[in-house]
Amino acid sequence: MLNVNHISGVFNLTKIMIQGTGSSVGKSILVTALCRIFKQDGYTVCPYKSQNMSLNSYITHDGKEMGRAQVLQAYACGLEPEAYMNPILLKPTNDKKCQIIFNGKVFENSTAMDYHNMKLDFADKLKSQFEEIEKQFDIIVIEGAGSPAEINLRDRDIVNMGLAEMVDAPVLLAGDIDKGGVFASLAGTMLLFNEEERKRVKGTIINKFRGDVEILKPGLKMLEDIIKVPTIGVVPHFTLDLEDEDGAVEFNKRAKAPIDIAVVKLSHISNFTDFDALKVEEDVSIRYITSKDNFGNPDLLILPGTKNTIDDLLALRESGLEDLIKEYAKEKLVIGICGGYQMLGKTLKDPYGVETDNKETVGMGLLDVETVFEKEKVTTRVKANSKDAEVYGYEIHMGICSYGEKAAPLFTIYDENGKNVERKDGAINEKGNVMGTYIHGAFDGVEFRENIINRLRKEKGLKLKKSKIYENLREKDLDLLADLVRQNMDIDYIYKVMGIKR
């Protein structure tokens, strides 16, 4: 499919890498846009990020775990997400430790220093894996992580310039003008590169621009004169209902629509993309509670997933939020997902020290269930149903729940990683206003989301509505994203950099 015309340099020219001047400058969304653009232009495309640090993860069709950012990028390519698109996923458990997921499976728990020392052990595996991916696709769009100018980490880098060198990829460097200081950050990053790294950078991108680009143009010319690299695009700030970039989600604290859904902002919150589908409901507002002061009186309260259920539960107890939640749950609707579901139960037992040294912790007691943390992590894609709704999603958890007399299962899982099964999931109390599930993405399906939101509409005297199919809206927004980036970046130049003659 490719018509390769080698330009100056030694690149394999069927790949492009987006690096950024720092975290949350828009690398993920730019990669997503390029993936969709190349797909629209008729190429087979694959996203790739060698190392991702995120608590926002996903389970593939074969039960493997990967970062959510590469999931959206895979959809942009028209692909089913696969763990090889994000071979290393780091899930922080506290400020100094993380769980290492390698090729979709738990590798080990590690300190930051231990992981830093083992990076080079992964390098050969990443290189050979990448070479196999190259054989399957016309173009690979690679995403870096954080800043490539962390000079203290350069000797063991496997995700930014170290990876670019390993797989021989040309680089585009993105900066976020919305943060301020974009020229300094781009020039400073180039300054900290060595000569070979500077040669590898083929263009810069100004991201999240607001205002009149004519005012910016003199600065672009001066920047090009300083770093000797062209600016190939100024991408405007935009709002689309696509998944938030890892770590860059804005945790809004105010209700902006008639139906007020509040999510408790846990310290170790994970999988906050569980609530993206709720945003497509026009009369729904999602906000995040961080203290008693902004609890308010929501129509629905959600306890989300967390990487450390027990620590976050104890923090809610210490802050006084637990008492507010328990009082609220006497009359109003509460839903817990994964770790949030576990918190709602009577007890949480950790006999193997999976999360803490606490062998047993008292839960909120809002659901008659008991959680026991096991040694092995459950990672499954599932389909499930209840008496009035079909749901689909995925499970990522260490805990297993057992039922007491006053709790009934919320769903029955009938498909697990493509195999027919029959097992219980989640729980609902006798009154029917407190429920929990292990299924991430439960709101993505129309039926369960529509039932919950119409229940809230009915309580508020609002008109009942049919819910929209989330995946269709996501596809539309991916095309809108591609159009916006195509209009504001020199895509022909990017093809030239990759050696593709069009």
d(CA 53, CA 62): 22
* Whole-number Å distance between alpha carbons of 256 and 96: 37
Q: Is the pLDDT of residue 134 over 60?
A: yes
From CA 418, how far away is CA 63, in angstroms rounded?
10
Checking if the pLDDT of 1 tops 50, the result is no
Note whether 308 and 93 are within 8 A (CB): yes
Identify whether 338 is a catalytic site residue.
Answer: yes
How far from 123 is each of 68, 84, 145, 285, CA to CA, in Å?
23, 14, 16, 44
Class of domain 15-50+70-80+122-242+477-498 (CATH, top level): alpha beta
Average pLDDT over residues 26-46: 97
Closest C-alpha to 303, from 262, 349, 273, 268: 262
DSSP H or E segment with residue 435? strand 434-437
Q: Which two tokens stand for residue 369?
A: 């269930």
Nearest to 16 by CA among 276, 211, 203, 214: 203
pLDDT at 38 over 50: yes
Give the pLDDT of residue 240: 80
pLDDT at position 11 over 60: no
Please tell me the predicted confidence (pLDDT) of residue 97.
85
Distances (CA, A) of 204 to 17, 19, 112, 197, 330: 12, 9, 31, 14, 55
Residues of the chain with CATH 3.40.50.880: 259-461
Q: Which of 35, 98, 338, 401 is catalytic?
A: 338
Cα torsion at 403, 405, 406, 408 (round to 10°)?
50
Residue appearing with tokens 């595996």: 125
Provide the pLDDT confidence category of residue 250 given band limits of 50, 70 and 90. Answer: low
CATH class of 259-461: alpha beta
| 7: helix, strand or coil | coil
Q: Choosing from 35, 77, 397, 440, which is the catalytic residue?
A: 440
CB atoms within 10 A of CB 73: 31
The pLDDT of residue 242 is: 78
Beta-carbon-side half-sphere exposure of residue 464 (alpha carbons within 13 Å) = 8
CB neighbours of 455 closer than 8 A, spacing ≥ 6?
333
DSSP state of 395: E
Q: How many residues are present in the chain? A: 502
Looking at residue 389, its pLDDT comes to 94
* 277 has pLDDT over 70: yes
Q: pLDDT per residue over 194-235, tens digit each?
A: 999 999 999 999 999 998 999 999 999 999 999 999 999 999
Whether the Cβ atoms of residue 247 and residue 54 lie closer than 8 Å to each other: yes
Residue 249: what pLDDT? 53
**pLDDT per residue over 100-123, tens digit each?**
999 999 999 899 899 989 998 999
Residue of 331, 428, 336, 342 whose CA lies nearest to 386: 428
Torsion of CA 5, 11, 16, 210, to 10 degrees: -90
Mean of pLDDT values over 88-108: 90
**For 393-449, how does the pLDDT look when each residue is reduced to its tens digit (9 = 90+)?**
999 999 999 999 999 999 999 999 999 999 999 999 999 999 999 999 999 999 999
pLDDT digits (tens, 9 = 90+) for 225-249: 999 999 999 999 988 877 765 545 5
- Local structure of residue 83 (DSSP, 8 states): G
Mean pLDDT (the chain) is 92
pLDDT at res. 253: 65
User: Is 61 considered catalytic here?
Assistant: no
Q: Are 101 and 91 in contact (CB under 8 A)?
A: yes
**What pLDDT score does 205 carry?**
98
CB 170 within 8 A of CB 200: yes
Residues paired with 201 in a beta bridge: 171
Does the model's pTM come out above 0.85? yes
φ, ψ at 369 (rounded to 5°): -135, 160
pLDDT (0 to 100) of residue 244: 60
pLDDT at 137: 95
Is the pLDDT at 373 greater than 70? The verdict is: yes
Location of structure tokens 């919320």? 410
Where in the chain are all domains bearing CATH 3.40.50.300? 15-50+70-80+122-242+477-498
- Residue 401: helix, strand or coil by DSSP? strand
The predicted model gives 292-313 an average pLDDT of 95
Distance CA(483)–CA(235), nearest Å, equals: 11
Give the mean pLDDT of 245-256.
Answer: 61
| CB-based contact 262:300 (threshold 8 Å) | yes
How many percent of the chain have pLDDT more than 70?
95
Whole-number Å distance between alpha carbons of 55 and 249: 12
Q: Which residue do the tokens 């040669």 mark?
A: 199
Q: What are phi and psi of 232, to 5 degrees?
A: -105, 0
C-alpha to C-alpha distance for 322 and 33, rounded to whole angstroms: 41
